[in-house]
Each structure stands twice: as structure tokens, then as C-alpha cells.
Structure 1
């Protein structure tokens, strides 16, 4: 990463809760340039401002200023986290929770504090909260985890389902906003590649580097080196080695509403058993299908759909989903507030809750 950028703090003032400084009005004021900067950072969250300026067609000064403002306001957060295989074998479970009246936010806040919760969202419908729980060591370790988490004050009912196979995870908005394809992106969905990362790929220094970059994924290698007690070249070399081995995920998080996407929906699509894979591959072709996975129960696909409006969601359901050969029905929940994605707490949710109050 080029060190050609001055820096502004991307987090709150000392003592402020994460996200307290997020300006809710900023979510509605992103310009087209802002959105293109976000897309560029989603494709490479550690790209230099110079590289981002070249990608979006703006001047380095303007792109640097606007990009820093997006980070400082909390509208965007960049974080580097270890890949799923970094801690060895694991199984993932989709969790649906019903809470006692008025306890949704208290339960959600306790859930996102758990290291094993990968995403967490408050929803409408028959459930109050939906989350993904990654069980390190595999399903045999699940009973102890659910005993701890089901004991959270306010949890009334808990339903879990094994995620068998993930077809698609997309954080990049370029294709949906501008019809752009990522260089090298295949037209057809390719089989998921096997995990190449394992615990043996890390040592204590590697994990310290990632811990620093989890807080701010755009931190300079020199600042990280000062923090962990290594020289800059060693930190850079170690990070690039982890990245080449697919042992680190660089996430650029932004609220969908800031990009003009007003309808976030989690759908459980029931499919005829013989058509499960074929339907999944067809759904994965839609750019507004952001996440897609096969679950164990009910021959079902878990599908996150993010569209500009409810009208667009309705059009997708009536003109596309309902006509797919093998689809037998679905249930759906609107996402009201996303608190965590990719193991990273979103920086805007606390500000949105405070504004609502």
C-alpha cells in the first residue's frame, strides 16, 4: 500500500462508544464520487488514495479528502480479519431468536460482543434477531456455546440450522450500482474453492498485526510496526504473505442505505431437493443477491437480497424468484438494523439507535 495519504481518525473521540460520532445525515448525502470511492475501497480496502483516485477518475486531493471524511464520520469502516480457516476446522450455524418484548437491542448487543458471532441483525417477522454463529472446532462444540448464549437475558426462543455450503458472499457494490464487473470475475458461478488457510500459517506476531488492522484496516504498516514492536518491512512482508495465502479478509463496511439501497431482506427459500444446487447457481447470478447458502433443514437456501426499494424487491419476487424451476416457497424478514458483519461491529448502528430514541 502506498503511504501517500495524510490521516484523520476513523473512530470516535477518546471515551466515545464506537459509532457515536456517526452523523445520521451523512448517510443520505453521499455523492456519486463518494459511492465510487466506497466501491473502490470494497475492492481493495488498503489501496492508496492515489490508486483509488485513478480508479474513480478524481483528483488525489479530492478523493483523499472525501475518503477520509467517510472514514472519520463512521459511514465507512475498513477492517482486516483472519479468514475463517485461520483457527482450524469450524461449522457455521444460522440462528433465529425471539426475544421478550422490549429486549431485542439488549440481546443483540450482547450477541455482537461474542467473538464467534459473524453477523447479527435485528429483523421484522416471526423472529427478532438473526445471526450467524461460527463454531470453532466443529459442531461437537456447539452445545456449550448455545448453553452460554441461550442464557442471555431476554432470549425467549432460539432456533439454529447448520449452514452446509456457502455459494456467494459479496461486499462489492460496483456491479449493482454501476453494472461494473470485477476484473477476472467469472460469468458463471464457480465451485467454492477449498480453504487454503490454517492455524499453521500464523504465529503470534501475525496475529498481533491482524489485531491492529482489525481496528483500522487502512492503518499504515509503519504505525502497525510501532505498535507490535517490529520494523515496517517485516510487517509489510508478513501481511502480504498472509494475504497471498488467503488468510486475511479485508472488509469495507458501509450501510446499504447510504448507497441508495432501502430494502434489506433475509429470505429462506424452500427448494425441491433435486433442484437445490441449480436454483442456488441461478440466484447467485443476481447482483442484488449479496449472500447465498444452503442450509440443512427444509431443503432451504438462505438468501440476503438488498434492493433500492420494496418495489424492486416485489419485482424480483414476482418476476424472477417465483418462476424459478424448483422453488416451492419462501419466508422472509426485513433487516431493520445490522450490528455486525464479517465478525466486525458496524460503526453506525449505535448512532442510528440513539437517533431513534
Structure 2
């Protein structure tokens, strides 16, 4: 396939949909500078070629006491892609990255509890023959994440959605089962009409409209409009692990979270207590960026770094090596793997029975 090239109208269109993913085409087109038909046609081309897409998932702020973890995997030689293929459809698996450095794969997983995380790592991942070793870090705080990142090609944003930054969000509340089902249905096509959502959910259009308005007001839905990394203008993804004194954490994460390049910033449970993922223009920018970062943020020490070679899964979207969308996997923390569950149950049964002690006297 020939190298794809986006023009300025394409970038403006993506930016507009980052700010207002469900705005009607007339409003989107007005901000881009084209008519509604042209805006819709261009978006259809971008999505059809896998160069851009919309997705959504429940916001971390309203998902309760979920566990976000970053798992490094060392693979058996020659089996890395086999491992990725087996993991791609795991619903709680947010990201799969083929990475450089002291890991073959870097996974981001979201699960209901530490017990579910222990089952996923101990029985799902460690049960794969291509996995040689795993190392897990729990995010003790998620300071910023990719749904907030923008191309920033527009000076204004389309009106008529919840994505207007000047409006303070309503108090967050835990999602009910009906809310989760509606978000899962919306994730299949973010721009589908209220009437279509009503038909799919079995609710009335009025109920769906009211429920979406409430969820939007509470920022309960994280929308994403992404472009394939190869055409995004930000083709390089780098992850840095560092340490920062506990007393300086608030200041440091505020600085990191406010930087143009930052896609993710999280506090961790391990010896490196801070992790950040940044998007850069070029591989040549990695070392200067790190040097500038340490200079600008006193107290931050970078201990390790990694480049993403292939983001095989990104926020639930399965991608090719150029970052084009292949297909979507609905995200859910409601993971239940029968094989892992059976293996855990068998272990628990063995643990209930005391191990036999050797009572014969030694000679």
C-alpha cells in the first residue's frame, strides 16, 4: 500500500472530532471550513483506509476501584507475535506494545480488582507457552491519559457536545449496568444516532438522549479520535520510567501532564514510582527531550526508557505496523477466562489440603 498523506483539512477534521466526536457534520464542517457533505465524505475515506477512527470507553474517573496495571513481558525467542495474537482479543487489555529495551512487550490492563489482576498475570499470561517472564506494576494514580490529547489544529471547538473544556464536569457517580451497556453499544459506532442507540438498547430515544446527556455532563465517557501513527505528525512513542521524591509528586506530575508531548502520566507501585509516555516528531528527538525534561523538572530522575516498535493494540483498537486500524475489540473490565479460572480453582483446592510432611526419622 502506498504511503498515505493527510492534508490540512484532514488534520483539522480529526482535531474537530477530538473536541466534539458527536457533533453534526454541519458544525464540524463549519469549523474545518468545508460543507457538511465534504466533511462526512472525508471522514468516510479516512476511516475506510484505517487512517483515523473514533472510539469510546468508560472514563477511569467513574469506573470505581478498578486496577490499572502495566505488565512487561519477556517472550520465548520466535514466539512474540504468537503471544500477541493470543492476547489481542482480551477485553481488559487496553494496549499491547512491542517495545525496545528490557522487555519484549508492554501491556496496559484494566481489571476489577487486584485478585483479578493476580489471576490474569498468574494464570492467563504465565499459562501462555510463549511467555518467558512477566513483571507487573500497578498504577497507584493515573494523572493523565490519551483521551485528553489533541492535535490542536483549531483555535475554537465545535459546540453541542460535552467536550467543551470551559464547563466544569458534574459530580461523578459510579456507572450502573445500563450505563455500561449503553457505552458498549456507543463504542461500536461513536457517531451513531440516538434513534439507532435506542433500537439497539431497547430504550426509548428520550431515555437514551437523557442518559447520554447525564454521562457527558459527568465526563463519564472517554472519547478518542485517533490518527494512524505514521500520518499523525507524531510517529514516535517513548515511555520513560523515573523516580521523584514523594513530596514533589504533585508538582512534577502537574508539569508532565501539561506538556504538549505527554500522552500518559501515572504513579507506580514499584522502584520507579513514575511512568510517562510521550509522542515525539522523530527518534532524533528522544534524547534531547529527556535531557530537557530532567533540566526543566528538578527532582525527576529517569531510570529507564523504551521506544514502541509496533503498537499492536491501542485503547482497544488492533493496529497494523503503520498504526492503521484493523479492527476494534470492545474494552471491558469484566474479564472471565474459563481456563484461568479453572487453573486458579485447582490451585485453591490444593492449598486447602495441607502438604504431607515427611515423618520418617532421618539416618
- Name stretches of at least 5 consecutive residues in structure 2 with no aligned partner: 158-162, 327-363
Q: For the residues of structure 2 that align with 1:240 and 1:92, how far apart are their CA atoms?
A: 27
The Cα of 1:162 is off from its aligned counterpart by 1.4
How many Å separate the matches in 2 of 1:202 and 1:103? 38
Q: In the comparison of the two structures, how many residue pairs are matched?
A: 319
Matches of 1:100 and 1:353, distance apart in 2 = 27
Which residue does the alignment assign to 2:346?
none
SS at match of 1:46: coil
| Contact 1:276/1:326 (8 A) holds in 2 | no
Q: After superposition, where does 1:1-357 map in structure 2 within 5 Å?
A: 25=2, 28-84=4-60, 88-136=64-112, 138-147=113-122, 148-171=124-147, 172-175=149-152, 184=165, 196-199=172-175, 201-203=176-178, 206-342=179-315, 344-348=316-320
**What's the CA shift string for 1:1-34, capped at 9, x where partnerless?**
xxxxxxxxxxxxxxxxxxxxxxx546x3111110
Q: 1:194 and 1:305 mapped to 2: Cα distance?
A: 29
Deviation per residue, 1:88-108 (Å, 9 max, x gap): 421211111111122222222
SS class of match (1:55): helix
Query: Compared with structure 1, are the counterparts of its residues 322 and 347 closer, same or farther at alpha carbon in structure 2 (3 Å cutoff)?
Result: same
Between the aligned partners of 2:62 and 2:252, the Cα distance in structure 1 is 31
CA–CA distance in 2 between the matches of 1:106 and 1:195? 44
Shift of 1:285: 2.3
Closer/same/farther in 2, CA of residues 112 and 185 from structure 1, 3 Å limit: farther
Task: Indicate the SS of the match to 2:271.
Answer: helix
In structure 2, distance between residues paired with 1:315 and 1:156: 34
Contact 2:62 / 2:172 at 8 angstroms: preserved in 1?
Answer: no
Matches of 2:154 and 2:104, distance apart in 1 = 33
Cα distance in 1 for residues equivalent to 2:192 and 2:143:
31
Bigger-Rg structure (1/2): 2
Question: 1 CA distance for matches of 2:307 and 2:64?
Answer: 33
Q: How does the TM-score come out when normalised to structure 2?
A: 0.78
**Aligned equivalent of 2:361:** none
Runs of at least 4 residues of structure 1 off by over 6 A? 178-182, 350-354
Aligned partners of 2:306 and 2:171: how far apart in 1?
31
Conserved? CA contact 1:93–1:162, under 8 Å: yes
Q: CA deviation at 1:303?
A: 0.7
Whole-Å separation in 2 of the counterparts to 1:351 and 1:255: 4
Secondary structure in 1 aligned to 2:305?
A: strand
1:222-266 Cα distance to aligned partner (Å, 9 max, x none)? 222233333433322222222223332222232232112121111
**Which residue is equivalent to 1:11?**
none
CA contact (8 A) 2:12 2:154 kept: no
**Backbone CA RMSD of aligned residues:** 3.0
Q: Shift in Å at residue 79 of structure 1? A: 2.0
